[in-house]
Amino acid sequence: MQVKIPYGKDQINVTITETYEILNPNKVEIKERNKIIENALKNPIGQKSIKEFIEESESLLIIVNDATKPTPTKRILEYLYPFIINHPDVRFLVATGNHRAPNIDEYGFIFGKLYDIFKKQIFVHDARNRNNMKYLGKTKSGTKVSINKWFLILEILLSLVVLNLIILLGILEGGKHLFQVLLAMKQLK
């Protein structure tokens, strides 16, 4: 049997010769995405609203996924725009891990129409560039730890991440996301 499987922006044909069963997910109620984002940011569980969080900060670092993750970053940023446009010190850090920096199309995918407004405030984590890192010391097991310098410079961190379960690796990607920005290449290997 021939099956088309999504792969990046395209689809690939796969031939299946073994016995198989097609499993379909349960149907779920589809809600309006923008309302879900707005409600979550206005009414976070046990925390201040995002507006209060941002207004109380003197400097703000917003971490975003690179274009390899399906995070609705541009939708979230459109909601945050009224709160961050006049912020005295807002910066964005693209969490690339050991991926390359985004190209112009990928910046559009990540930031949408806000890219042109904030492009001078957007930085890309480069785990290979030692100048972007600050050495902190060693772990108990002797592993040297260096983190991205932006974590030490800016006061408030706002991470817009997609939480994916990576079953093969046995990790929750939300935590991995911070390591993609924090660590130098040696720790990512």
Q: What is the mean pLDDT, run by run of 10 residues, along the chain of 189 residues? A: 83 88 82 82 83 86 84 88 92 85 94 96 87 85 81 67 43 48 50
For the record, the structure tokens of 85 come out as: 């446009």
Measured between alpha carbons, how far is 157 from 177 in angstroms, rounded to an integer?
Answer: 13
The alpha carbons of the chain give a radius of gyration, in whole angstroms, of 19
**Count of beta carbons in the 10 Å neighbourhood of residue 147:** 19
Tell me what pLDDT residue 107 has: 96
Helical (H) or strand (E) element with 150? helix 150-153
Measured distance between the N- and C-terminal CA atoms of the chain, rounded to whole angstroms: 38
Tell me what pLDDT residue 164 has: 44
Tell me what pLDDT residue 49 has: 84
Q: What is the pTM of this model?
A: 0.70
Structural domains of the chain sorted by starting position, each given as residue range(s) with its CATH number in brackets: 45-188 (3.40.50.11440)
Tell me what pLDDT residue 85 has: 94
Tell me what pLDDT residue 104 has: 96
Tell me what pLDDT residue 111 has: 96
Tell me what pLDDT residue 168 has: 39
Tell me what pLDDT residue 19 has: 86
For the record, the structure tokens of 131 come out as: 């100048």
| CA–CA–CA angle 15, 170, 37 (5° rounding) | 90
